[in-house]
């Protein structure tokens, strides 16, 4: 038996826009007279192979063609061109609980879903206790699904799919519904399954999970494979994809620096170029006439490597390359927001009581933040402004929110330094004030 479980050759998928459903049907019956009005290509020339036991991530922005690709692999969608060969039982979590009937009880749905996954009734019943235990929904198993919360539906659906012993498991952003602990439990379980030869296809926008979990990644953009290979490189491509869309040209640096005579012009230019090439955010246009503005923002970890994923408690260095052209000092500020858009922290030169240089030219501002905040994805925004009184400023330029900045922690296995949104500086001690001995 070959080791390749999924082989995709030259697959393209186009969605035809027809005048009517009838024309669509005629076309599918082979009447080429009924031509589509327009072809929209969702996937173009996709080629890859996946071997048994691999965990592969498919990443890309919305509309990159991830879902179409997954649907083709599951078999609910036929590719327009090319061949797909899948050896093994595919279990797909495309939309959790979509195979469920709201009128039936959890128990009945588990049986029905198991049958749909190709098990016999005896096999489903044999595994039922395990499924029930994994889902942890208690007595609700005998109530109709329509009375469930979405989290409960997700738990049950995941349990059925995973415990029905698939050879290939496709997960499309499905875990995001479950609570944190269930997610951790699922990931731990999946890891175990992968070691036992499960092939996993994982679609997620949570790069932290992708990085920790997958062996390699395929990065899709505009329906084509832009990168296929190591997870870290693919993630880098993913994060640079936004810049590619924004920045048509790399800003050209012509300004002569003043007051920095001790450094050679070449090394300064190198410094600037390095920030730009490492940048996670970059201005669309940049020219000297534009006044004060942010040129690029790069984020480094403690080792000075460009990164966007940190362990809880790590130090994050934000390097802001900006152009100042103002008689007043230009302050740099940062805003860190969590998933829900709540402002976690704002900091910057004015918070730190630093005095910015008054120049007409390029400058770099470095800010170090210790990420004592709970695990999750955050977004960042950098602003330039003039001081206008305590805690106030006049905004000159802002990057808008970008990211994500991932803060990771394995809450399942590792003792966390704190729980909750922030880690406040804390200390404590015990004193015995009474003993029975």
Partner 1 sequence: MTKFGSISTQTRNYCSLLIELTKREFSKSHQGTIGGIFWPLGEPLAMLVIYTVFFGVILQGRWGFSGSPLEYGFALFSGLIIFNFFAECFRQFPLLIGANPNYVKKIVFPLELLPVVTILTALIHALIATAIWCAGYAMLIGFPKWTALISPLILLSMIPMLLALGWILSVIGLLTKDINQVTGLFTQALLFLTPIFYGLDIVPENLKFWIRLNPLTYLVEQFRLMLIYGVMPGLRGLSVFILVSSVLAGLAYFFFRRVSSTFTDLI
Among 58, 64, 77, 275, binds partner 1 (CB under 8 A): 77
Nearest to 41 by CA among 61, 19, 63: 63
The verdict on 35 binding partner 1 (CB under 8 A) reads no
The verdict on 121 binding partner 1 (CB under 8 A) reads yes
Nearest to 235 by CA among 255, 210, 215: 210
Contacting partner 1 within 2-21 (CB under 8 A): 15-16, 21
Among 9, 24, 51, 224, binds partner 1 (CB under 8 A): 24
Among 84, 111, 187, 232, binds partner 1 (CB under 8 A): 111
The verdict on 71 binding partner 1 (CB under 8 A) reads yes
Among 3, 19, 22, 126, binds partner 1 (CB under 8 A): 22
Among 2, 35, 40, 78, binds partner 1 (CB under 8 A): 78
The verdict on 295 binding partner 1 (CB under 8 A) reads no
The verdict on 74 binding partner 1 (CB under 8 A) reads yes
* Closer Cβ to partner 1, 98 or 267, answer by number: 98
Query: Parallel, antiparallel, or unpaired: how do β-strands 402-408 and 293-300 relate?
Result: unpaired
**Closest separation in Å from C-beta 107 to partner 1:** 12
Nearest to 92 by CA among 188, 192, 9, 174: 174
**Closest separation in Å from C-beta 195 to partner 1:** 25
The verdict on 98 binding partner 1 (CB under 8 A) reads yes
The verdict on 25 binding partner 1 (CB under 8 A) reads yes
The verdict on 29 binding partner 1 (CB under 8 A) reads yes
Where does this chain bind partner 1 (CB under 8 A)? Answer: 15-16, 21-22, 24-25, 28-29, 71, 74-78, 90, 92, 94-95, 98-99, 101, 103-104, 108, 111-112, 115-116, 118-121
């Amino acid at each position: 038996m070959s080791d390749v479980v999924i082989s995709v050759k030259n697959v393209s998928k186009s969605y035809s826009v027809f005048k009517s459903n009838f024309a669509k049907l005629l076309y599918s019956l082979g009447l080429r007279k009924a031509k589509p009005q327009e072809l929209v290509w969702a996937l173009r020339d996709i080629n890859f192979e996946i071997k048994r036991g691999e965990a592969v991530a498919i990443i890309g922005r919305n509309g990159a063609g991830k879902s179409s690709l997954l649907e083709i692999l599951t078999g609910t969608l036929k590719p327009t061109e090319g061949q797909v060969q899948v050896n093994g039982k595919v279990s797909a979590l495309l939309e959790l609980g979509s195979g469920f009937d709201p009128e039936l009880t959890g128990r009945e749905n588990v049986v029905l879903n198991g049958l749909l996954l190709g098990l016999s009734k005896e096999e489903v019943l044999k595994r039922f206790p395990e499924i029930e235990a994994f889902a942890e929904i208690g007595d609700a198993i005998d109530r109709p699904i329509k009375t469930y919360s979405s989290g409960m539906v997700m738990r049950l659906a995941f349990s059925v799919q995973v415990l029905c012993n698939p050879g290939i498991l496709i997960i499309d952003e499905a875990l995001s519904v479950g609570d944190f602990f269930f997610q951790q439990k699922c990931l731990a379980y999946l890891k175990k399954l992968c070691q036992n030869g499960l092939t996993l296809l994982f679609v997620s926008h949570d790069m932290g999970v992708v990085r920790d979990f997958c062996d390699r990644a395929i990065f899709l953009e505009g329906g084509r494979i832009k990168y296929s290979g190591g997870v870290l490189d693919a993630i880098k491509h993913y994060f640079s994809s936004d810049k590619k869309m924004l920045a048509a040209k790399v800003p050209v640096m012509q300004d002569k620096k003043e007051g920095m005579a001790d450094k050679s012009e070449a090394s300064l230019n190198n410094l600037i170029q390095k920030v730009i090439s490492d940048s996670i955010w970059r201005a669309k246009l940049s020219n000297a006439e534009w006044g004060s503005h942010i040129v690029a923002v790069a984020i480094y970890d403690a080792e000075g490597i460009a990164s966007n994923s940190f362990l809880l408690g790590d130090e994050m260095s934000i390097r802001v390359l900006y152009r100042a052209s103002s008689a007043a000092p230009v302050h740099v500020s940062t805003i860190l927001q969590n998933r829900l858009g709540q402002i976690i922290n704002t900091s910057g030169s004015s918070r730190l009581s630093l005095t910015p240089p008054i120049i007409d030219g390029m400058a770099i501002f470095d800010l170090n933040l210790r990420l004592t905040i709970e695990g999750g994805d955050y977004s960042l925004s950098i602003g330039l402004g003039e001081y206008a009184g305590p805690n106030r400023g006049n905004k000159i330029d802002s990057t808008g929110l970008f990211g994500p900045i991932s803060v990771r922690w394995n809450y399942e296995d590792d003792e966390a330094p704190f729980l909750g949104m922030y880690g406040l500086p804390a200390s404590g001690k015990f004193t015995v004030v009474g003993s029975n001995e």
